[in-house]
Amino acid sequence: MTDKQLNGLRVAILATDGFEEAELLEPRKALDAAGAKTTVIAPKSGKIQGMKPMRNHKKLPWTLPSITQTPPI
């Protein structure tokens, strides 16, 4: 998907505590490479805790926007 097939498309990625790091980061990289603008959204603002498989939990430095605001259409 490197030919920017998704140019201009906005994609919301929903995540919460306990997500598997690769299941968030790899699809996001692919979407970004295809030209999409991605935003991670969580049920709380601040940081969410992700984990790597077969390892201890790892706190990832996500600063997330508040989801109480409705984006303009």
pLDDT recorded at residue 31: 94
DSSP-based three-state secondary structure for 32? helix
What is the spatial distance between Cα 63 and Cα 48, in angstroms, rounded to a whole number? 8
pLDDT recorded at residue 8: 87
pTM: 0.66
User: Among the listed ranges 1-5, 38-42, 67-71, which one has the minimum average pLDDT value?
Assistant: 67-71
Could you read off the pLDDT of 5-30 as tens digits, one per residue? 999 899 999 998 888 888 899 999 99
- The domain limits of the chain are 10-59
- Locus of tokens 């306990």: 18
Q: pLDDT category, 65, cuts 50, 70, 90?
A: low
pLDDT recorded at residue 37: 93
